[in-house]
Amino acid sequence: MTVKFLYFAWVREKIGAAEEHVVLPVDVRTVADVLAWQATRGDTYAAVFTAAGIIRVAVDQAHAQPAASIGGAREIAFFPPVTGG
């Protein structure tokens, strides 16, 4: 399954990219799974994604909780808590 990953704010700056196209392992089924998998992708990713609970996730442009399924997702975004307004 190929998915587009998007990064915003300091997550984007630390990863060093705004966008990636990624092939997800078949056993990565939930938001929590994808966060855990990101932390395994080398030091840079580990530094960003190991601090569990900080990074927020949107699946296909809607906020998603850790237990939510990512089955069929085309776009998964990773970002810090929002600070608009």
Partner 1 sequence: MVVRVQTADFDVGAELTAFTAGRTDIGAVVTFTGLVRGEANGRELRCMTLEHYPGMTEAELQRIDAEAHRRWPLQSSLIVHRIGTLHPGDNIVLVMAASPHRLVAFEAAAFLMDYLKSKAPFWKKEVAVDGTGSWVDARDSDADALGRWS
HSE (side-chain half, CA atoms, 13 Å) at 71: 4
DSSP letters for 35-80: HHHHTTS-HHHHHHHSSTTT-EEEETTEEE-TTSB-TT-SEEEEEP
What is the closest distance, in whole angstroms, from the C-beta atom of residue 84 to partner 1 in the complex?
A: 3
What is the closest distance, in whole angstroms, from the C-beta atom of residue 55 to partner 1 in the complex?
A: 12
Site residues (vs partner 1, CB under 8 A): 6, 8-10, 58, 61-63, 77, 79-85
Select 71 or 84, whichever has its Cβ closest to partner 1: 84
Select 42 or 85, whichever has its Cβ closest to partner 1: 85
